[in-house]
Amino acid sequence: MSTKEKQISYTAWKRLHDNSLFTVSSITTLRQLGVGWVNALIPFAQKLYGVDKNGVTELLKRQNGFFGAHPDFVPLAIGAVAKAEWEVAKEKADPSYAKNLREWCSAALQVHGWQLFRDGFRPLILLLGLIIGLFVYHSSNAMRALAILAFLLCYNLPMWSFRLWSVRYGWRKGLDLPQAFMAWKWHKILWSIRWLGAGMVGVAFVLTAREWGRVVFYLGAHGAEELAWVTAAVGFLLGYILLPRINLHSLLLLLIAVVLAMAWLL
């Protein structure tokens, strides 16, 4: 088989990408994203097997099961599994490889997805959004609209580029995806995100205290600007020290203690 024949057409990988976006909408407790995963593979399976309905059914049966990768990693997984299925159909590879690859993606791409997106990129962009919001909420309406657009662009440009790229990357790697994925410089990626995030936490902390001081002033509680600074700093220190030890009960106790202390003080 020549290299050219192994290329996936633009329409095919675009459809794989587009369908992979809807996996979350059919999430179930038993299969997680498994239902959407099968649905996302339908156009590819039909293109691969043409009129051979048995081939399509076998592929869907093979891929029907638990799938729990992080949603933002689904395009990467679908590219690689599509390639593995392609090898099953065209090069008579062992069908269990394609099934095993899905199971690997389900486990590894969940844990790494949490680290990269849930605890990394997403809070980083939300912090950026917070900073933009704090800058513009007292500006003109046009500025506010621009700020919201800027925030959405900051998140969506890198994310959509990543999703589109990852379908192609997954297809290129196929069954070699686990090996290639583990060679990613995870330490450097996560370190860069943490470094940027720490810088933004510094900016957000100063801005929040400043802007809250303004709100306090606007409401007419004169002299309370300093109070906003002090309480924000106390909250930050308390949170930083106590958070690892906090559970719901201790948080409630803390809340009650703060309210009682405030009621007594004021």
Partner 1 sequence: MFVVYYTPDPKALLFVTIAGGLFTLDRVTVRAMIFAPLVTATLMAALLGNPWLGVLTGVLFQLFWLREHDSPGKFAPDAGFAAAIASAVSASLVGHLASGERLLTFWPYGIIFGVLVAPLAGYSRWLVIEHLSGKLATFDIAVQRGDTDAIRRYVIYGILAHGLMGAFVTGLCYFAGYFVWHVFESIWFEADPVMLTIVPLFAGVAIASVARVFLQRDTILAFIIGAVAMTSVELIRRFVAI
- Contacts with partner 1 in 204-233 (CB under 8 A)? 204-212, 215-216, 218-219, 221, 224, 227-229, 231-233
> Could you tell me the two tokens for 218?
């606007």
Q: How far is the CB of 87 from partner 1 (least distance, A)?
A: 21
Exactly one of 150, 182, 237, 256 binds partner 1 (CB under 8 A); that residue is 237
With CB under 8 A, what is the number of residues at the site for partner 1?
98
Exactly one of 243, 245, 247, 248 binds partner 1 (CB under 8 A); that residue is 243
Could you say which residues in the range 40-79 bind partner 1, by CB under 8 A? 42, 46, 53-54, 56-57, 60-61, 64, 71-72
CB 253 within 8 A of CB 238: no
Exactly one of 73, 151, 171, 181 binds partner 1 (CB under 8 A); that residue is 151
90 contributes a contact to partner 1 by CB under 8 A: no
Exactly one of 7, 11, 25, 250 binds partner 1 (CB under 8 A); that residue is 25
30 contributes a contact to partner 1 by CB under 8 A: yes
Q: How far is the CB of 4 from partner 1 (least distance, A)?
A: 29
Cβ nearer to partner 1, comparing 175 with 204: 204
Strand partners, 28: 32
The backbone torsions φ and ψ at residue 135, rounded to the nearest 5 degrees and listed phi first, read -75, -35
| Cα angle 261, 252, 265; round to 5 | 5
Cβ nearer to partner 1, comparing 24 with 111: 24
The residue behind tokens 């940027």 is 196
Q: How far is the CB of 176 from partner 1 (least distance, A)?
A: 28
Q: How far is the CB of 94 from partner 1 (least distance, A)?
A: 21
Cβ nearer to partner 1, comparing 149 with 182: 149
Q: How far is the CB of 5 from partner 1 (least distance, A)?
A: 25
Exactly one of 6, 31, 168, 172 binds partner 1 (CB under 8 A); that residue is 31
DSSP the chain: --TGGGPPPHHHHHHHHHHHTTTGGG-BTTTBTHHHHHHHHHHHHHHHHTT-HHHHHHHHHHH-S-B---GGGHHHHHHHHHHHHHHHHHS---HHHHHHHHHHHHHHHHHHHIIIIIIIIHHHHHHHHHHHHHHHTTS-HHHHHHHHHHHHHHHHHHHHHHHHHHHHHHHHHGGGHHHHHHTS-HHHHHHHHHHHHHHHHHHHHHHHHHHHHHHHHHTT-TT-HHHHHHHHHHHHHHHHHHGGG--HHHHHHHHHHHHHHHHHH-
Could you say which residues in the range 179-208 bind partner 1, by CB under 8 A? 191, 193-208
Taking the C-alpha atoms of residue 179 and residue 227, their distance in angstroms, rounded to an integer, is 54
Could you say which residues in the range 91-150 bind partner 1, by CB under 8 A? 118-120, 122-127, 129-130, 133-134, 136-138, 141, 144-145, 147-148
Cβ nearer to partner 1, comparing 9 with 29: 29
